[in-house]
Amino acid sequence: MDKQTPQEKIFKSYDIRGIYPEEINEDFAIPITKAIYKLLQTQLETTEPLTIAVGRDMRLSSPAIFEAVSKTLVELGAQVIDLGIVSTPTFYYAVYKNGFDGGVQITASHNPGEYNGIKIVRKSPTGLVKIGKSTGMDDIKKWSIEGAGLSQIDGGTITEKMGVVVEEVQNALRIAGNPKLNKYKIVADAANALGALYIEELFKHIPGELVKMNFELDGTFPSHQADPLQKETLVDLQKRVVEVKADLGLAPDGDGDRLFFIDEKGGIVPPSIITALVARELLKKHKGATVLGDIRYIMTPKKIVEELGGTFVVTKVGHSFITEKLHETGGIFAGESSSHYFFKETGNAESQIPMILIVLKVMTEEGKKLSEIVDFLKRSHESGEYNFKVKNAKEVMEAVKGEFPEGEVSELDGVSISFADWRLSLRTSNTEPLLRLNIEVDIDGNIEEKKDKLIGLIKKHGIFE
């Protein structure tokens, strides 16, 4: 049983997130903001006032939290840059491009409307550092509850900086090589959330027809939850793509930092294949460069990257861990199985606009449908994720490891075991009390027998809640 108080529960591995107003609200935002400011000053090794960008999503509670965060920062002497309502990638771009000391984005990402939260970044010589469990979140938690010990300072200001998304689109066009694109029909379901902002702006700069679904910003999410990992949220988009004979579909999440692609047949394109597609294009320009992918599904992107002479590095799951690894390796690009995509040229942060452009560029240059490109790139079959509520996750992982002594074992993130023609990943969730199983086999393999055996082992050894 979770014995943490509501205040303690909201500090997660990657961000701060909880139900409004019980767990997070404008009152608790004040000590949280002071703790964030203290951490940023500490990590940047300065006592001088900082310049902090603040963005927010369209949730009903975001204006009140924004007001509390901004007012507190001003009282601490900060120069606050008000970005308005922006997607999280647009927020990242603003902080990175303008060299701000740090940033606070008020959002609960893909969570339902009763949630809200805070994402935090700071500058560094190699790009943005995301504040998570390994980069300072525990300090923020401690100082939020115990007090940060900061005094008010005169001289703080708030300055509005609107329209950053226009600059972001221009930067994405540059990353993609300013491609000449065919006119495609594209359906996008924005789920009444922030992806609508950058998709609409992008289509002012490229040819084609945009068919919009749920583009009206609404923090109550009247259409459906803005979480494309839940496949039921994609059904209407898949149908619409086929009905209107579109070339592809787009499904961003609530704060726009994840994006799923739907092919012209209405099929969901695995993010690992999108990673491989974009990596292939970037490696044409950046010979021998490093590309990263998280440990869940690696067979397709790893084979593509290595075929082209690049280096493929496997990371732990989670955007803050991936960003850290990009800083460490100097990688040019990273793709995560949950459809987060990261570019060195955006400060190692997520950016979805270049993803759209590069996919359209490949379709244009190859003269192929998206499903045909996917079939050509596919090097493996993926199981999809299976989740188990077990009380003894470590024991289960050890038991599974013992069943496959001939495999190559990695304990980078849980347990992954690799063979010549298949692999498994078994890990605990960073955000929920779950044990997660992912399996992949090579293109000629049978995934069902592996799945049945592994699920059987988990049921045999697991103590279920």
Task: Please tell me whether residues 318 and 424 are part of one structural domain.
Answer: no
Task: Please tell me whether residues 120 and 28 are part of one structural domain.
Answer: yes
pLDDT tens profile 115-140: 999 999 999 999 999 999 989 999 99
Helices vs. strands in the chain: H and E counts, helices first: 15, 22
pTM of the model: 0.96
Residue 47, in any domain of the structure: yes
Task: Please tell me whether residues 391 and 371 are part of one structural domain.
Answer: no
Residue 181, in any domain of the structure: yes
Closest to 382 in 3D by CA, of 319, 295, 460: 295
Residue 65, in any domain of the structure: yes
Query: Do residues 87 and 257 touch, judged by C-beta distance below 8 A?
Result: yes
- The Cα 461–Cα 449 span in angstroms is 19
Query: Do residues 291 and 301 touch, judged by C-beta distance below 8 A?
Result: yes
| Pair of tokens at residue 399 | 């038991």
Instruction: Report the CATH number at residue 387.
Output: 3.30.310.50
Task: Please tell me whether residues 121 and 158 are part of one structural domain.
Answer: yes
For position 3, what pLDDT does the model report? 64
Residue 224, in any domain of the structure: yes
Task: Please tell me whether residues 192 and 337 are part of one structural domain.
Answer: no
Closest to 87 in 3D by CA, of 130, 119, 129: 119
Residue 1, in any domain of the structure: no
Task: Please tell me whether residues 120 and 38 are part of one structural domain.
Answer: yes
Task: Please tell me whether residues 49 and 147 are part of one structural domain.
Answer: yes
For position 1, what pLDDT does the model report? 37
pLDDT tens profile 335-344: 999 999 999 9
Task: Please tell me whether residues 56 and 155 are part of one structural domain.
Answer: yes
Q: Which of 224, 243, 262 is the last residue of a domain?
A: 262
Place 203 in a pLDDT band, splitting at 50, 70 and 90.
very high
Task: Please tell me whether residues 354 and 389 are part of one structural domain.
Answer: no
For position 174, what pLDDT does the model report? 96
Which parts of 214-254 are beta strand (E)? 248-252
Checking if the pLDDT of 2 tops 60, the result is no
Which residue's structure tokens are 């086929």? 242
Task: Please tell me whether residues 364 and 297 are part of one structural domain.
Answer: yes
- The Cα 169–Cα 238 span in angstroms is 26
Q: Which of 108, 137, 162 is the last residue of a domain?
A: 162
Instruction: Report the CATH number at residue 26.
Output: 3.40.120.10
Residue 10, in any domain of the structure: yes
Instruction: Give the largest Cα separation in the chain, rounded.
Output: 67
Domain span at residue 376? 271-380
Residue 106, in any domain of the structure: yes
Checking if the pLDDT of 162 tops 80, the result is yes
Q: Which of 380, 414, 439 is the last residue of a domain?
A: 380
**In the chain, how many domains are there?**
4
DSSP, collapsed to helix, strand or coil, labels residue 200 as helix
Task: Please tell me whether residues 293 and 328 are part of one structural domain.
Answer: yes
Closest to 9 in 3D by CA, of 120, 99, 137: 137
Q: Residue 5 contacts by C-beta under 8 Å, 6 or more apart in sequence?
A: none
Place 458 in a pLDDT band, splitting at 50, 70 and 90.
very high
In 10 A of CB 396, how many CB atoms? 24
Give the CA-trace dihedral at 28, 31, 33, 38, to 10 degrees: -160
> Which residues does the annotation mark as catalytic?
109
Task: Please tell me whether residues 222 and 368 are part of one structural domain.
Answer: no
Residue 115, in any domain of the structure: yes
